[in-house]
Structure 1
């Protein structure tokens, strides 16, 4: 379905430079876009590609020099893209009801307009809200609760004691509510500590593929409102993830660690157990958090330190080989030692 630039600008809160009645039919990257496509420039490093792109129109910030082009000017092109894409995305198919190959236990309650695929298993006492989509081979343990407009992709498993809020999206292969990693060391070896807590996933959370969120030992592991979790993330028992936080791929968070609101953890970063990462803190990729991080601080390195200190350390380390060569040369001049 084609849209005019004026329609798109009204939706994303932008202004049109050029022909507001120009129509575009799809959204495409700068390199492959054609005259019927809308594209976007969210990073200045792609400005040259934007100027040479064949795109019919481009979402761009004020000040980006795109002469002779139809442009929709917006403060945040990436946010505008997120708002514009649904205009060109086919709507999901209507609910298909409950597949004959789905299995239900006793006392299961299912809301209006369900779409429950083949091989889905709903344990005793499961509660499913309205307009829920459960794709093939989703498994919900006894007593699991799902809010309205929840989507679980194939092979998602939620153990008993898991509760999901409204508009939660979970991608394929994710496990919610497996036992936390808790063992006490006894005279005869390791003794398992029973994990009797649960998992709470609040409203508007999105969880990627093959994520694990462990149940609490006592009490619940909590993923708060609006959190976004990338693929292959591990969240340990009794972790608390604050509202609006983002966990990028391969993050690992050990048990009983608390993240404040709006925390971002970069790819392959991790945190030991029982630490607090304050509101708005940033953890760079591959960083190991071993102690509390104050609100608003950005940390990097192993162990984590203020990123400014880490950068100075890296710069000093990179200068070290040159210093060693100069030291060796000076020492040879004074006859103090010889190179091997």
Structure 2
């Protein structure tokens, strides 16, 4: 699908410098630009690439003033990075809109209902009494269990699994291999050393505008709901245990693990491999650096690092000392030796 520079500029309310009839059909990084692609320049340290890029069209900030001649057509906008993101939204929406109808073979229960303009891919399964909203894209090999509710404009990529009774809000994206509503890790120790399974009869609820990464798992509640609030973004390979609640617009990077019944506030940011213990509460606007471990409640508006996590400035000072520990040990041993020698004398 080709787009003219003038059409792109009109969509972005941008100003064209160069050939308005230049056409693009794909995007590229400015340093790897190819003819027929669109790139962007937002970071000044990449400016040197704009003078040699082969991209046909480049988005730049209105404040950008070239120092040399540029062969590409420029579109000047208020914020090149945000404008590029908007174009990617448009591209993805146009691509998704091409998916329509029901492919065969697939299974859709007679009692299930679907809104208009949807798509169901081959080998997908939609269970009894499932309710699917408008413009929902269900890709091949997706499993939607009994009594599941899915809002409008959602995308479920190949192999996503939604267990019975779960609720998915509007405009959610669930990537391949994600599992929503599997049993929480509940086992009661027995006198003979074995473990008896504690059945998990709750569900998982995802509110509006949630995105779940590939192979991320969100367990159902034991009796109630595991809740992912609106606007939450979870990376790939994350584990959310039973009865957890994640607050609005919180984001988590890959391999984070949240133990059962933890409550996380709004607008938090967790780096990769963060771990939270069970039954703890994290306030709003908390940032946890990569590999942080949290074992107790955290108040709002903090940035922490380490395991156990401590205030980031303290953590950085501790890391400096840790790096110097071999030399400190050597000095202490030398000092101890000197003191012992003085005592003998």
Correspondences of 1:61-140 after superposition (within 5 Å): 67-68=67-68, 69=70, 76-86=79-89, 91-92=95-96, 94-140=98-144
RMSD of aligned residue pairs (Cα, Å): 2.9
**TM-score normalised by length of structure 2:** 0.85
Deviations 1:11-63, CA, capped at 9 Å, x for gaps: 456666x5484745242112211465432345565455556645455445677
Offset at residue 199 of structure 1 (A)? 0.9
> Is 1:171 equivalent to 2:172 in the alignment?
no
Moved more, 267-276 or 32-41: 32-41
The secondary structure found in structure 2 opposite 1:91 is: helix
Offset at residue 3 of structure 1 (A)? 3.5
Does the 8 A contact of 2:135 with 2:154 survive in 1? yes
Deviations 1:163-209, CA, capped at 9 Å, x for gaps: 11111111111111111111223323323222111111111111111
Q: Which residue of 1 aligns with 2:221?
A: 216
Task: Identify if the C-alpha distance between structure 1 residues 65 and 323 changes in structure 2 by more than 3 Å, giving closer, same or farther.
Answer: farther
CA–CA distance in structure 2, aligned partners of residues 317 and 13 of structure 1: 53
CA–CA distance in structure 1, aligned partners of residues 183 and 211 of structure 2: 21
- Of residues 159, 167, 178, the one that matches 2:163 is 159
Q: Which residue of 1 aligns with 2:198?
A: 193
Q: Which residue of 2 aligns with 1:294?
A: 299
- Of residues 311, 314, 330, the one that matches 2:316 is 311
CA–CA distance in structure 2, aligned partners of residues 318 and 131 of structure 1: 55
Does the 8 A contact of 2:22 with 2:57 survive in 1? no
The secondary structure found in structure 2 opposite 1:160 is: coil
- Number of matched residues? 335
Deviations 1:214-264, CA, capped at 9 Å, x for gaps: 000121111111211111111111111111111211111111111111111
Task: Identify if the C-alpha distance between structure 1 residues 149 and 71 changes in structure 2 by more than 3 Å, giving closer, same or farther.
Answer: same
Moved more, 317-326 or 301-310: 317-326
Q: Which residue of 2 aligns with 1:264?
A: 269
Query: Runs of 5+ in structure 2 lacking a partner?
Result: none
Does the 8 A contact of 1:27 with 1:88 survive in 2? no
